[in-house]
Amino acid sequence: AQSVTQLDSQVPVFEEAPVELRCNYSSSVSVYLFWYVQYPNQGLQLLLKYLSGSTLVKGINGFEAEFNKSQTSFHLRKPSVHISDTAEYFCAVMSRGYKLSFGAGTTVTVRA
């Protein structure tokens, strides 16, 4: 079985500053990794995913994430955030059976 730990529950950040959201997973088998974003009162939408190949994955809205197999991590970064990036971010893992396991989420609040 796999589990996902998002190390920060809340991340306040100023507009135009960089942000990093940390995600660690545990799994004994190969995994596929995802980041989803949930804007207030909306469903989740995919930011990016790692399936194979290059460990640096670029997603929508200027986000990127790096897969680190030795540290079992998949941290999400953005070099300069906007007010509109205020949202909840979920890391998720998929392995056998193609079912997603989600982390508890990180709330990002961007302030002017």
- The whole-angstrom separation of Cα 14 and Cα 12 is 7
Question: Taking contact as CB under 8 A, which single stretch among the options 16-24, 38-46, 53-61, 67-75 is the one that binds other proteins?
Answer: 38-46
User: Residues with Cβ < 8 Å from 79, sequence gap 6 or more?
Assistant: 18, 62
- The whole-angstrom separation of Cα 35 and Cα 89 is 7
* Subset of 72-91 contacting other proteins (CB under 8 A): 90
Q: Is 44 in the site for other proteins (CB under 8 A)?
A: yes
Q: Is 42 in the site for other proteins (CB under 8 A)?
A: yes
Among 46, 56, 60, 83, binds other proteins (CB under 8 A): 46
Q: Cα 87 to the chain's mean position, in Å?
A: 12
Residues that bind other proteins (CB under 8 A): 4, 9, 32, 36, 41-46, 49, 51, 90, 94, 98-100, 102-105
